[in-house]
Chain A
Amino acid sequence: DTAVSQTPKYLVTQMGNDKSIKCEQNLGHDTMYWYKQDSKKFLKIMFSYNNKELIINETVPNRFSPKSPDKAHLNLHINSLELGDSAVYFCASSQGKVAGVQDTQYFGPGTRLTVL
Chain B
Amino acid sequence: GNSVTQMEGPVTLSEEAFLTINCTYTATGYPSLFWYVQYPGEGLQLLLKATKADDKGSNKGFEATYRKETTSFHLEKGSVQVSDSAVYFCALTDSGAGSYQLTFGKGTKLSVIP
Contacts and interface: CB of A to CB of B under 8 A. Distances in A.
A100 B32 CA distance: 7
B93 interface: yes
Nearest to B92: A100
A100 B91 CA distance: 10
B46 A105 contact: yes
Contacts, number: 64
B28 to A, nearest CB: 15
Contact of A107 (B32, B43, B49, B100): B43
Contacts of B93: 98-101
A90 B34 CA distance: 18
A107 B38 CA distance: 10
B106 interface: yes
Contact of A56 (B44, B46, B89, B100): B100
A31 to B, nearest CB: 8
Contacts of B34: 100
Interface string A70-110: 00000000000000000000101000011111001101111
Given A98-B93, A98-B95, A104 B46 contact: yes
B2 to A, nearest CB: 11
Given A100-B49, A101-B32, A42 B100 contact: no
Interface of A: 4, 31, 33, 40-45, 48, 55-56, 58, 90, 92, 97-101, 104-105, 107-110
22 contacts: A40-B106, A41-B107, A42-B106, A43-B89, A43-B104, A43-B107, A44-B104, A48-B100, A56-B101, A90-B44, A92-B43, A98-B100, A99-B102, A100-B102, A104-B46, A104-B49, A105-B44, A105-B102, A107-B43, A109-B41, A110-B42, A110-B43
Given A99-B93, A107-B43, A109-B43, 14 more contacts: A31-B100, A41-B106, A42-B104, A43-B44, A43-B89, A44-B104, A45-B101, A48-B101, A55-B100, A56-B100, A100-B93, A105-B44, A110-B42, A110-B43
